[in-house]
Amino acid sequence: MKKNYVNFCILFTLFFTSYVGASVHTSYLWHLQQPNYWPEKHPNLNRYMNAAEQLDGLSKYPGHPQNNLADIFGKDDRRFIYQWRSKDSVASMNLPDAGAQLIYPGDLIENIDSLGKSYKLGYSPNWASSIKEAASWKTTTGRSKLKVLGFSFHHALLPLIDPDARKKEIALDREMWKRQWGANLPKGFRTSEEAFSTRIIKDLVEAGYEWVVVPNHHLARTHSNYQANHHKGLYDPPNKADQINKPGKNFWSGEIDGRGATLSVPFSYQAHYAKYVDPADGREYKIIVVPMADILSYRDGYSSQGTDFIDRYIAPFSNPAQPSFILFSHDGDNAWGGGYSYYHEAVPKFVHEANNKGYRPTTIQTFLDRNPPPKDDLVHVEDGAWVNAAGDWGHPQFLNWLWYPQRDRKSPEFNHKKPETYADIENGWAEDFRNWAVLIAAQNYVSTAEQVTLDRGEGVFIDKILRPTGQKGYRRNANDAELAWHFYLPGLTSGYMYYGAALDMEVKPTLASNQAVYYAQKALGKNFSDRTAPTIFIPQRYPYNPGSENYGAQYGYQKWIAPSDFKIWTFAYDVSKIERIVLKIRVDEDGVNPIHENSNEVYTHKSVKVSAWKSINMSIRRGNDFVENIFNDGNIDFFIKPGKVADMYFADVKGYKDKLLDYYIEAHDVFGNIKRTDIQHVYVD
């Protein structure tokens, strides 16, 4: 019966495309990126060096960066897409509303601008002219046919970094956007690696953004009836605390190269609203979440796509009153999706095939102009990035950028057949685990330097963090607090951790952090009033699903039914000193956290729905205990030593079963400054 119904719907689609096709829209989002590969201070100027200067060999560390910049930036496909190929591709679409979105981060702009000004590797000073021309082309609603969206300036993984840094990354990108692309700031935002958490919504809304792109499998996994039938041992099933959206329908599964997803239709292909609740005052911040077609995007980056998947899986179940949106969002300068065959052949072929089927090629903003989601369509989105990263596969804890502290594989306690022996939260180690400790310590120095500078009556301005040295159109030279931010933020580049121990990636965050701490200490001086609370890394949980099934690379791709007891751990640091740090836990009385009710989202509860908070003292592991290459990994050379390292704190959570818990961490410094992290949720099975 089910099969006959689907066949009928497909026939209905093919014969009545003018009706059903109107409920499916398509678009592209091409993400371009090359980071600052070695953000060392320029030998003669108070700023970091960019690609052209690094090619000139100005570093005091001979042979660094180890990345081959001439090959990276000189590849034809990259030279073309960084300058004019996106314009040519949009022109080939040749339909009234068809267009694309472009991500052109600030650090890439700095690199290409430096190469263009010196005519290196085939770049010229007018490298941006074609993009600007295509941006001037308009859809029927007056929107740009090629729109550069908002982004994180240094490709930082926004859900993991400190809110102070998150605000700066967003503001820097907007400052660069105005200077590079002119007026008409974008209303939309795309995160690095499509890594999303509702924690970032407030910062996006306050910066002026109205919508953000999210991976659509993190919508599907929140259905109350979601069945984890795709993960196949690759990653953890969703935690029940996230499965708070209405039941899904019409699930389908797809994969390529082991990357895959199970998705609901039309829900996972519709724009919705999502919210963040400020835990301190209960204020809600709402933003439109635009789904990227997660698995289909990965496919589009590697091969030419037709409309078969729309015909079979999406159009038959779409709703013209709230249309489906197929957004191909992926790297625009890597793999097959970065070359001539993609932009000049595959893209126009798909666009015209879709149009001939009655589907509507468009842009995101044009789509939202005509099809805004209903105001009451409020949904939850699970944390996580897109399916691309091997070993992570879209895990809600961003594992590819933050591995659990692991047990030494040579230790007698490790058994490759027993997943419970892989991680060692109290004593283990991983290179990115260590790097976050370095970044968290530097973050507190930089945040405190800003506070002290403002207290002295000086400004801390975005344009001076962007351009520290005096130039036409910029105010005075940067002060020490602005320089601290300038040198710190490149260290947050997610690619440094994405590639693990490759080349000199694992020393780059230390290079940036040490330079930042130097200027922060200059800003602080000998006597200062510390009114800045400790910096705390977003609390981490192990295992992800206490009391139930866990899978993934962190368990040797084995199924593990974990015990109900679990650990919470974090890094924390204060320039003065942390006096007390505790984990706060409370129980939800009915085991449900409905999306339209906020008792679980605020520190001070006025409801019988949740219990009072219980405090658990956290144990400490000193940063100096794990700052070295303690497993003697031959691929790692920490030839630059960090000046400051945060300590690790952890606590055991015991005695809960079949309970929904809220938790956060609270830290006090010696001057009484208090920091509380965002509230997180876990269902203990």
Ordered DSSP codes for 197-229: -GGGHHHHHHHT--EEEEETHHHHTTBTT----
State the pLDDT at residue 260.
86
Residue 10 has pLDDT above 80, yes or no: no
143 vs 471: which has the higher pLDDT: 143
Cβ contact 477:469 at 8 Å: yes
Other beta carbons less than 10 A from residue 349's beta carbon = 14
Neighbours of 120 (CB within 10 A): 18
For the chain, list the domains and their CATH numbers.
Answer: 2-150+186-370 (3.20.110), 402-684 (2.60.40.10)
Angle of helix 480-488 versus helix 431-455 axis, rounded to 10: 160
Structure tokens, 98: 């068809």
Band (pLDDT 50/70/90 cuts) for residue 535 is very high
Q: Once rounded to an integer, what is the mean pLDDT over residues 116-128? A: 97
In this prediction, residues 554-570 reach a mean pLDDT of 95
Mean pLDDT of 207-231: 91
Distance CA 256, CA 272 (A): 27
pLDDT surpassing 50 at residue 2: no
pLDDT tens digits for range 381-411: 999 999 999 889 999 999 999 999 999 999 9
Residue 344 scores a pLDDT above 90? yes
The two tokens of residue 349 are 């072929």
Nearest Cα to Cα of residue 151 among 271, 272, 30: 30
Average pLDDT over residues 77-101: 98
User: How far is residue 110's CA from residue 150's CA, in Å, rounded to a whole number?
Assistant: 16
Which of 42-46, 188-192, 340-344 shows the lowest per-residue confidence on average (mean pLDDT)? 42-46
- The CA-based angle 68-643-38, given to 5 degrees, is 15
Q: What is the pLDDT of residue 17?
A: 39
Cα angle 336-341-344, degrees, rounded to a multiple of 5: 130
Please compute the mean of the pLDDT values over residues 5-34 and round it to a whole number.
Answer: 65
Beta bridge partners of 196: 384
Q: Which letter, b or e, does each residue of 451-467 get, where b requires 16 or more Cβ atoms within 10 Å of its Cβ?
A: bbbeeeeeebbbbbbbb
Q: Can you tell me the distance from the alpha carbon of 54 to that of 633, in angstroms, rounded to the nearest whole number?
A: 27
Cα–Cα distance measured from residue 95 to residue 79, given in angstroms and rounded to the nearest whole number: 27
Which amino acid, 609? K
Q: Which DSSP string do the residues of 307-365 spell out, in sequence order?
A: SHHIIIIIGGG-BTTB-EEEEEEEESSSSGGGSHIIIIIIHHHHHHHHHHTT-EE--HH
Alpha-carbon gap, residue 88 to 85, rounded angstroms: 5
The predicted-structure confidence for 135-186, as pLDDT tens digits, reads as follows 999 999 999 999 999 999 999 999 999 999 999 999 999 999 999 999 789 9
Kind and range of the H or E element at 448? helix 431-455
Percent of the chain at pLDDT exceeding 70: 95
Token pair for 564: 């109900």
Please report which confidence band the pLDDT of residue 254 belongs to, taking 50, 70 and 90 as the band edges: confident
Q: Which ranges in 118-224 belong to alpha helices (H)?
A: 129-136, 163-181, 201-207, 217-220
Enter the DSSP assignment of 684.
E
Non-local (6+) Cβ contacts of 457 within 8 A are none
What token pair was written down for 310? 């729309």
pLDDT, position 471:
56
The region of weakest confidence among 11-20, 31-40, 609-618 is: 11-20
pLDDT for 31 beyond 70: yes
Cα 595 to chain centroid distance, Å, stands at: 23
CA atoms of 598 and 607, how far apart (whole Å): 10
Q: Is the pLDDT of residue 493 over 60?
A: yes
What local confidence, expressed as pLDDT, does residue 470 receive? 63
- Structural contact between residues 579 and 229, judged by C-beta atoms closer than 8 angstroms: no
Length of the chain: 685
Among residues 396, 208, 213, the alpha carbon closest in space to that of 288 is found at 213
Half-sphere exposure (CA, 13 Å, Cβ side) for 148? Answer: 33
* Predicted local distance difference test score (pLDDT) of residue 257: 84
pLDDT at residue 507 in the model: 97
In this model, does residue 336 exceed pLDDT 90? yes
Whether omega before 35 lies within 30 degrees of 0, making that bond cis, reads no
Q: Which residues pair with 572 in a beta bridge?
A: 536, 647
Q: What is the pLDDT of residue 473?
A: 52
Average pLDDT over residues 80-87: 98
**What average pLDDT does the segment 446-473 reach?**
91
Residue 370 CB-density burial (10 A; 0-12 exposed, 13-18 middle, 19+ buried): middle
Q: How far apart are CA 101 and CA 135, in angstroms?
A: 10
Residue 542 has pLDDT above 50, yes or no: yes
d(CA 154, CA 48): 13
Q: What is the pLDDT of residue 14?
A: 39
Return d(Cα 41, Cα 133) in angstroms, integer.
35
Q: What percentage of the chain carries pLDDT values higher than 90? A: 91
Sign of CA dihedral 238, 240, 242, 245: positive
Non-local CB neighbours of 427 within 8 Å, separated by 6+ positions: 405, 407, 621
Instruction: Look at residue 3 in the predicted model and tell me its pLDDT.
Output: 45
Beta strands per DSSP E along 426-557: 535-536, 540-542, 549-550
Mean pLDDT across the chain, nearest whole number?
Answer: 94
Q: What pLDDT, in 10s, does the model give residues 672-684? A: 999 999 999 999 9
Residue 527: which residues within 8 A CB-CB, separation 6 or more?
A: none
Do residues 505 and 494 make contact, with C-beta atoms less than 8 angstroms apart? no
Confidence of residue 237 (pLDDT cuts 50, 70, 90): very high
Angle, CA of 12, 16 and 20, to the nearest 5°: 85
- What pLDDT is attached to residue 19? 38
Q: What are the strands, taking DSSP E only, across 348-499?
A: 360-361
Q: Which two tokens stand for residue 530?
A: 């510390």
CA distance 81 to 87: 9
With 50 as the cut, is the pLDDT of residue 366 above it?
Answer: yes
* Whether residue 238 has a cis bond before it, omega within 30° of 0: no
Q: What is the three-class DSSP state of 5?
A: helix
Closest listed residue to residue 333, CA positions, set 75, 111, 109, 67: 75
Q: How far apart are CA 409 and CA 414, in angstroms?
A: 6
pLDDT band at 15 (very low <50, low <70, confident <90, very high): very low
Check if the beta carbon of residue 474 is closer than 8 Å to that of residue 462: no
Contact 644, 517 (CB under 8 A): yes
Across 71-75, 182-186, 531-535, 673-677, least confident range? 182-186
Tell me the C-alpha distance between 297 and 287, whole Å: 23
